[in-house]
Structure 1
Amino acid sequence: MGTMTTTKTILVTGGCGFIGSHTIVLLLEQGYNVVVVDNLSNSKKVSLDRVQKIVGLDDEQRKIRLTFHEVDLCDEPALRRVFETGPTFDACIHFAGLKAVGESTRIPLKYYENNLGGTFILLRLMDEFNCHSIAFSSSATVYGMVEKMPITESVPVGAGITNAYGRTKYMLEEVLKDFYNSKTLDKDKKSTWTVALLRYFNPVGAHPSGEIGENPNGIPNNLMPYVSQVAVGRREFLTVFGDDYDTPDGTGVRDYIHVMDLAQAHVTAIDYMTKKDHGVFTFNLGTGTGYSVVDMVKAMSKACGHEIKYKVGPRRPGDIATCYADPTYAREELGWEAKLGLEEMCRDLWEWQSKNPNGFD
């Protein structure tokens, strides 16, 4: 264990959640130590026990390599203690935030207060404790209602966003840019910041072991956790919102990305930022391929070996017909691309859901 002292330590906010837990697996496997901060409002601490099992850490190794603090980012004194007691952080991957699109339209103030306020406190403490590298969990929702596909990083952001969740992501991108600019103007300070804005499309799937996966509270907001709950018998049928869109089968088309590919993008971004030493970098994280709702249901039926019932309902307000990424820039600049296709997404999702029909409960 003597070699571990030279290892870099990554602070992961929201690390017990879906994308966070999968990213931690890869960080640990690729030699990083990880400190997790999570308030467990929409996640379970047991996900880290599963991560420990996947990576094969014994309890002694875990004490050094994977530490957990149940802290809300909005609680500045508690977060400060994490910075004071912990090792020096080489970088932060910032997943923490409320993320239910529908809910955000009903309780917008809570979303703004939590997602923005927590990030402000995090950035101030990072600056104070000399951690100047952050990978931010953003979203394709920042593009709003884009008609022309595929979406490149140069498409304007901020206009036509249909919900408060998406607007918090857009606002935080702007905050991070302004914050970055303020640090480059300060000539007395030797420190320079690196910021990666990672715009996710639709993360699906699970770790191939079936030990960790998406574990939504209550009724899932996203298509595939809902489909997998129908597949496992927890719900009777899926409601498809609209089948009269201008798409091959009339149902909405989206860019789905395997969570393991997405997790790898974060680890790649950390390495990339280390080499760059300063700058703000924006990447779309998607496959570049759009699949319809019906495509996803059929692929999941194949993975689980039986039919998945669905009914067609009215369109959902704010939904667009088609949305998929142009992932060229991430491939050329970041050296990352999605490797896993629809079959692997559904196979791994079914492995998780069939092993854990009630999630982590």
Structure 2
Amino acid sequence: MRRGVRVLRWAGWALAYVLGLVALVFAGVWVWWQPEPEARGTVVNALWARHQWVGEEHTEQEYRDLGRLLRENRITDVFFHAGPFEADGTVPPAKYRNAGKLIQAMRKHAPGVRAQAYLGQIRKVDGYGITDLDDPAVRERVLRTDATFLDLGFDGIHYDFEPIYTGDAAFLELMERTRELTRARGRVLSVAIEQLTLVDAAQPVYRALIPRGHGRFHYPPRPTKKYLRDLADRADQVAVMTYDVSLPTRSLAGRHFAWHTEQTLRLIGDRTTVFMGIPTYRPMFDWAEDLPVALRGVRRGLDALDRPPARPYGVGIYAEWTTIPPEWALYRANWLPRGSA
């Protein structure tokens, strides 16, 4: 009986110790979160846009409104959803039947804003998924499809294949060849990728214990530092999908955005243009993640840098179809440099 009491007592002390440490972490992050960021944002920013712009007819007024929105908010790059790829690496023309009119409208109403073809699919991994990038014939058809969109007048190709795991040589090879294509045409290549892994050394453990794939239980497809550098060396722009945080407090969510901004820009900010992805939607689980938290967190990450990156950087807004006027106003007030809005 006495032994059982001692065990329960020690267990209680251990639990109290752990809870105390957790409380200290929460308190420390809360204190860190309070000061107003000093850094302002930039006028180099991206926006993911819905498929209807390339797939459906629009009025001249709708195009005019889109152009005004992009100019007012200093958007330099728009990723117009133009896919997804079929399993064989093609995109049926019916899916982008309005692309030509869109490009003409962009030239008229948003001159200087790059309209990129946003293309991707669920990447086949370990037998699960749709597009098998390990197949050279599929990669060839992807490249031919890219050329079709460039012929239509798009200013670049924006890839969003998911999941992409560290060490995916086929995807790197596709990036290399796509950049050869875009550079030959005087266009750009951008890529959306998951946020950095927190600890690179944990990747081998994940691989050994948890399967890859698309099921509920799989290890996250986060790039290591080396793999992110490899991608950056093959892209003109890297958009980091920093959203879907699912953390319980605003200060923790903000710390997430700050950490990834600082680490990513230190790592590849001198190699390529970087867009830190920020959300204008509410996650499935309504935690603390929203646009104000994301913008403040990115700015805190900029504050932590010793110097600005050598290449342009900004935020990537996800997404055009979820951003309402009050959020655009908040973005202008809290991100754009003073005097630029």
- TM tier, shorter chain? 0.3 to 0.5
TM-score by length of 1: 0.34
TM-score by length of 2: 0.36
